[in-house]
Amino acid sequence: MSRLNRTDRPYDIVLFGATGFVGTLTAEYLAAHAPEGLRWAIAGRSEEKLRALRERLPGGEEIGVLHADVSDPASLRELSEHARVVATTVGPYVTYGEELVAACAETGADYLDLTGEPEFVDLMYVRHDARARETGARLVHACGFDSIPHDLGAYFTVRQLPEGVPLRVDGFVTADATFSGGTFASALNQFARGRQMIAAARERGRHEPRLVGRRASAPTGAPRYAQEVGAWALPLPTIDAQIVQRSAKALKRYGPDFRYRHYAAVRHLPVAVGGVAAVGALFAAAQLPPARRWLSDRLKPGDGPDADKRAKSWFSVRFVGEGGGRQVFTEVAGGDPGYDETAKMFAESALSLALDELPPTAGQVTTAVAMGDALIERLRRAGITFRVAASR
């Protein structure tokens, strides 16, 4: 039976936080691209905003509206019971996210989000992975620019290399884009929680089974001039490398000894130095509550780059993979990474979980493990490039 015809719950997909910046873009994408017969709903805390959004969406009369608030766990439980797949944009996730993960793990609904917060992902693993495995719920974090191009790009690169041998993959990110109030709030929040992040990672380490007979690592590389891509490579301390490492732990295809390093690629040295200084200054300011408040007032929740600015934005992640005597150069590329493409990746991930025949998985899983080839195919059809640039 096609997954679309399984009518055990009223909706195939429920989009929670549909009225926010990325939520609205995701709702617009789903309204334009959902296959006929998809039963889906928008959800959030303001019925008035939800109804106004539904009126603007093509085919809006077919789209359900559900009321739920993160401060009301019963409403989240009800929401998860109504959906086969729950996609949430309500962040910062470390502040607002846990109750919905708990509800999905308990009721067996698939869950996906846009978090880039390692602390959140680690805590959700410790607290909800076991229950989700029992109920069959797939908990898939980081289904936006964090971390789909990197996770699926590394997976795609590995698939071009020989099987059963040690593999080395480096990813180099280049982008020209700006961010929204929601993303800015999440980043500031994360910068201020370094100690909690380390504690959560340690706790995860105590719970996670050790990999036996294979190795999968994601060390922080050193800054260097990377001849292979003709740019300065700066180690990127985002969640992406951890996600790639988790995919490598879960999938034997990554070989007996896999190593991934994640970098920002910058053409000119002064830009590289300026970028590091700017992030350092933001990090320092985020440690002081008054400076953090001042900064978060600069960009409000719901704000974000307009359509013109987004149309000029782009990203490219180049990968260099080596193993078994072969070297391969691949690329994942697209338009505005933070919003247009994030909404596309997020919506296509939700559609994939709801509709595609996927490997049987449950519990906390990465995008490569849960959806791999099916999601790459979807994203290609939706205009995101996955290509082999050269191999030897």
CB-nearer residue toward ligand NAP: 23 or 323: 23
In the complex, least distance from residue 209 CB atom to ligand NAP, rounded to whole angstroms:
27
Torsion of CA 128, 132, 138, 142, to 10 degrees: 0
Q: What angle do CA 172, 155, 210 make, to 5 degrees?
A: 105
Q: Which two tokens stand for residue 390?
A: 């050269």
In the complex, least distance from residue 332 CB atom to ligand NAP, rounded to whole angstroms:
14
In the complex, least distance from residue 364 CB atom to ligand NAP, rounded to whole angstroms:
16
Cα separation, 177 vs 338, whole angstroms: 7
Nearest to residue 255, comparing CAs of 155, 163, 328, 366?
163
Cα separation, 143 vs 161, whole angstroms: 25
Cα separation, 377 vs 20, whole angstroms: 28
For residue 171, list its beta bridge partners: 262, 319
Stretch (H or E) spanning 259: strand 257-266
CB-nearer residue toward ligand NAP: 20 or 372: 20
CB-nearer residue toward ligand NAP: 322 or 340: 340
* Binding site residues, ligand NAP, CB under 6 A: 17, 19-23, 44-46, 49, 69-71, 89-92, 96, 114, 116, 142, 144-146, 180-183, 186, 301-302, 304, 338, 342
In the complex, least distance from residue 303 CB atom to ligand NAP, rounded to whole angstroms:
7
Residues 6+ apart with CB under 8 A from 357: 3, 374
Stretch (H or E) spanning 245: helix 240-250
In the complex, least distance from residue 223 CB atom to ligand NAP, rounded to whole angstroms:
24
CB-nearer residue toward ligand NAP: 166 or 301: 301
DSSP E strands, 147-253: 167-176, 215-217, 224-226, 231-235
CB-nearer residue toward ligand NAP: 153 or 304: 304
252 phi/psi in degrees, rounded to 5: -65, -25
DSSP assigned state of 90: -
CB-nearer residue toward ligand NAP: 146 or 322: 146
CB-nearer residue toward ligand NAP: 3 or 49: 49
Nearest to residue 150, comparing CAs of 278, 241, 48?
241
In the complex, least distance from residue 157 CB atom to ligand NAP, rounded to whole angstroms:
20
**Total residue count of the chain as it appears in this document:** 392
In the complex, least distance from residue 59 CB atom to ligand NAP, rounded to whole angstroms:
21
Rg (CA), the chain: 20
For residue 168, list its beta bridge partners: 259, 322
User: Rounded to a whole number, what is the largest CA-CA distance in the chain?
Assistant: 60
CB-nearer residue toward ligand NAP: 66 or 226: 66
CB-nearer residue toward ligand NAP: 171 or 338: 338
In the complex, least distance from residue 75 CB atom to ligand NAP, rounded to whole angstroms:
9
**224-226 and 314-323 strand pairing:** unpaired
Cα separation, 249 vs 236, whole angstroms: 21
In the complex, least distance from residue 92 CB atom to ligand NAP, rounded to whole angstroms:
5
In the complex, least distance from residue 146 CB atom to ligand NAP, rounded to whole angstroms:
4
CB-nearer residue toward ligand NAP: 224 or 293: 293
